[in-house]
Amino acid sequence: MPLTKTLFRTKCLKIMKKSSSFNRVYKNNLLNNKLQLELKKIKNKKILLYFPIKNEVDIRKTIAKLRINNEVLLPFMQNESFKVVPFRLPLRKKKFNIYEAGNSLRKNNNIDIAIVPIVGLDGNLQRIGFGKGMYDRFFAKLKKKPYTIFIQMDLCFTKKFICDSHDIKGDILLSTKKRLVKR
């Protein structure tokens, strides 16, 4: 049976769920350090981040550091996609158990950097997400593509090209054991 995006997503989600909780704190700290090293030279940028759910890399330490010198933005779900809003407390738990900041009327589509969680990655550095297509729809609306950093605890990668043309491409991938850069 040929490998499809759906089959690969299922395999990657199983790997994510089986990932040991024993060393999760270590892996989260390692990835926060890697991410902060990647972003060390930036200041006064608009950065799209995500607030982590259970199986995603917990980047809350990085969010706290970035808020000092940058404008930190979070997704705010709307229909089939999302818009970005400034990171403001309190966050509220919404659909899919995702925490969001409050809605904003301000347009924030000029993003310099996007940190995006992934489920899997294909040979073209294209993202396989949770299957809702929200990031794909959001990125399609942007006039200028931001520098995109994919992040994943344990890399789930295939050399095959299984993604669709509308799936977003990353510039770099960070995982605990790998750092892949788009050529």
**CATH superfamily, region 5-181:** NagB/RpiA/CoA transferase-like (3.40.50.10420)
Judge if the upstream peptide bond of residue 90 is cis by omega within 30 degrees of 0. yes
Tens digits of residue pLDDT in 108-124: 678 999 999 999 999 99
- 1 compared with 93, residue with greater pLDDT: 93
pTM over 0.85: yes
Tens digits of residue pLDDT in 25-56: 999 999 999 999 999 877 778 999 999 988 89
Calculate mean pLDDT across residues 6-31.
88
Q: Cα-flanking dihedrals φ and ψ of residue 32, to 5°?
A: -60, -40
pLDDT for residue 80 is more than 90: no
Question: What is the structure's pLDDT at 83?
Answer: 85
